[in-house]
Amino acid sequence: MPYYGCHLSISKGFEAMGKDALFIGADTFAFFPRNPRGGQMRPLDELDIQRLKQLLQDHEFGPLVAHAPYIYNMATGDPEASAVVRQRMKEDLERLDHLPNVYYNIHPGAHVGQGQEQGISNVASVIKDVLSEGFSTPILLETMAGKGTELGGQFQELAAIISELDSDPQVGVCLDTCHVSDGGYDVAQDLDGVLDELDQVVGLERLAAVHVNDSKNPAGSHKDRHELLGDGTLGLDFFRSLVQSPRLKDLPMILETPNKKLEGYKREIAMLRAFEQGATVQEAQSQIESEPTQ
């Protein structure tokens, strides 16, 4: 079965994130290893990490998903900017290697006018340099909405990056449901068809995590605006199909919906679990109607 969670704040430490996850009924979660604007990391607290490890073991958590700061642009052609990204990625991975069963999810970046081919080459160069340090944490390239010169809006772009890395098994993919829809893939009406294409182009064995988001915009809009589950253009029937898909079993499914409080994520996780167990949309909504919406 899939694991469910959301993005949690690391501001109070690792164990605190685990406790927040338990509060909302999660058995996975995502987090920024440092300030999301790319600033400094908290000092390493080995005791805090050990307490989180015990919590994860006691409650049978699935893989965690660390998210690189959005400011990282691996596709940049600026040597100084690229050097900063490489150094900070190495620092992130050094920290993540202290945790069990965690992925490092990152946006490929934008080529900002250099052209798609050069941008792809730049991304591959950064990842190759970072992985040469011998880190054990897998890197996941996120599917994107294809805004402007952003890379990752098409599966072929992710495949090209992986190809330049000699198909390194340490590099995988995180599928974002809002992004792939906004990027032009009609997941709402043809989830299996989209997964077939991902399998043919990239290889479904590389799919290691899913970002579960509704979208404010129609398929192909290239906007990247997340929405609460059921309030967007994908709809609850799609999310029911998503969690019931045998091709996505055992994957961490991370909510990045615009809830204002943890209770909103608690409600959405309860809904996804009800869907997984076979509830209809109406039955799932009835089961969780007592939960706050946000």
Q: How far apart are CA 159 and CA 165, in angstroms?
A: 10
Q: How far apart are CA 116 and CA 276, in angstroms?
A: 39
State whether the Cα torsion 130-88-110-207 is positive or negative. positive
- Distance (Å) of CA 126 to CA 104, 106, 155, 282: 14, 12, 19, 47
Confirm or deny that 196 is annotated as ligand binding.
no
Confirm or deny that 179 is annotated as ligand binding.
yes
Confirm or deny that 117 is annotated as ligand binding.
no
Confirm or deny that 111 is annotated as ligand binding.
no
Q: How far apart are CA 99 and CA 97, in angstroms?
A: 5
Inter-residue contact 252 to 5 (CB < 8 Å):
yes
Confirm or deny that 7 is annotated as ligand binding.
no
- The whole-angstrom distance between residue 166's C-alpha and the CA centroid of its chain comes to 23
- The whole-angstrom distance between residue 291's C-alpha and the CA centroid of its chain comes to 25
Alpha-carbon dihedral angle through residues 7, 119, 116, 144, given to the nearest 10 degrees:
0
Inter-residue contact 180 to 174 (CB < 8 Å):
no
Confirm or deny that 67 is annotated as ligand binding.
yes
Residues paired with residue 110 on neighbouring β-strands, in sequence order = 150
3-state SS assignment for residue 241: helix
Confirm or deny that 256 is annotated as ligand binding.
yes
Q: How far apart are CA 33 and CA 285, in angstroms?
A: 34
Residues belonging to the binding site are 67, 107, 142, 176, 179, 211, 224, 226, 256
Residues belonging to the binding site for Zn(2+) are 67, 107, 142, 176, 179, 211, 224, 226, 256
